[in-house]
Amino acid sequence: MGAMQAPAPPERGWHDMGGLAAGAVDPAEHDYELWERRVDALLVLCGSRELFGVDGLRRALEDLGADAFVRMGYYERWIAAIARNLVETGVLTNDEIGRRIAEVEQRGTTYGEVGDP
């Protein structure tokens, strides 16, 4: 009778990167676009309304998967994770989000200025 195979090692989360090689850190400062500031403010608003907080954000970010870390920018991942949490907590439905995205796309490809709706 053969020996039992050891179970496959569990898969490390893509985000759980402490101790792994990751290349040099770019220390350059950069400014944030208006839409990025609004995403940041939206998270703070969700917390102040006690809808969800940083833990729900982090969990949803992790669930985006390793590919998102490569394909998406920082605040792109944030808004995806915020949207997930808003659907989970019943604030929005995916259908409402989809319809609003379609509305906004009709306006064109540039983002508005402060004061625009």
> What CA–CA distance (Å, rounded) separates 77 from 114?
23
Q: 13 vs 73, which CB is nearer to another protein?
A: 13
Does 7 help bind another protein (rule: CB under 8 A)? Answer: no
Does 107 help bind another protein (rule: CB under 8 A)? Answer: no
Q: Reduce the DSSP state of residue 104 to 3 states and report it.
A: helix
The one-character DSSP state at 8 is P
> What CA–CA distance (Å, rounded) separates 74 from 99?
24
> What CA–CA distance (Å, rounded) separates 88 from 80?
12
Q: 18 vs 23, which CB is nearer to another protein?
A: 18
Q: 10 vs 27, which CB is nearer to another protein?
A: 10
Q: Reduce the DSSP state of residue 78 to 3 states and report it.
A: helix
Does 88 help bind another protein (rule: CB under 8 A)? Answer: yes
The one-character DSSP state at 24 is -
Q: How far is the CB of 97 from another protein (least distance, A)?
A: 18
Q: How far is the CB of 68 from another protein (least distance, A)?
A: 16
Binding site for another protein (CB under 8 A): 10, 12-13, 16, 18-19, 52-53, 55-56, 58-59, 62, 88-89
